[in-house]
Amino acid sequence: MRRVLGKVGQNEEDEIDLTPMLDVVFIMLIFFIVTATFVKEIGLDVNSPDKNNTPQDADKQSIVVQVTSRDRIRIRGRDVDYRSVRANIERLHAENPEAPVVVQPHPESTTDIMIHVMDAARQAGVYNVSIAAT
């Protein structure tokens, strides 16, 4: 009887070679990185006003356009017709050329009126238009 030293049945061929599996994983990783689509979303940049400014100071140095809950437009405390917003903004801009337009929409007002006021301000030559919460 002859004894063989070492473990019985263990050869070099019994070990699992992980190199091909790692190659496949790296190739899949490269494939997913190359085929990934990067979407750039389109949106509006809205800057909220500073909380340090008082409303009285804002009224003196800016053209404030308020939109009520029933989609009525108010400039300097008086109701303004939908079609005459541009003319009123032009007049106030002529008085104070550095004054920005601040739109204060009511939460229940429609977006259509707010966009109309912003477009009228742009047509009147005022490009510094911002939105403020009421």
Sheet with 73-75, edge to edge strand ranges: 78-80, 73-75, 63-67, 101-105, 129-131
Query: Which of 2-6, 98-102, 113-117 has the least mean pLDDT?
Result: 2-6
Give the residue extent of every domain in the chain: 55-131
The token duo for 72 is 């009525």
Burial class (CB in 10 A: 0-12, 13-18, 19+), 71: middle
| pLDDT reading at 82 higher than 70 | yes
- With cut-offs at 50, 70 and 90, classify the pLDDT of residue 86: very high
Distance between CA atoms of 130 and 134, rounded to whole angstroms?
A: 13
Q: What would the CATH number be for the domain defined by 55-131?
A: 3.30.420.270
Phi, psi angle pair for 80, to nearest 5°: -125, 140
Residue in 124, 105, 118, 126 with CA at minimum distance from that of residue 62: 126
Tell me the pLDDT of the chain averaged across its residues.
82
- With cut-offs at 50, 70 and 90, classify the pLDDT of residue 81: very high
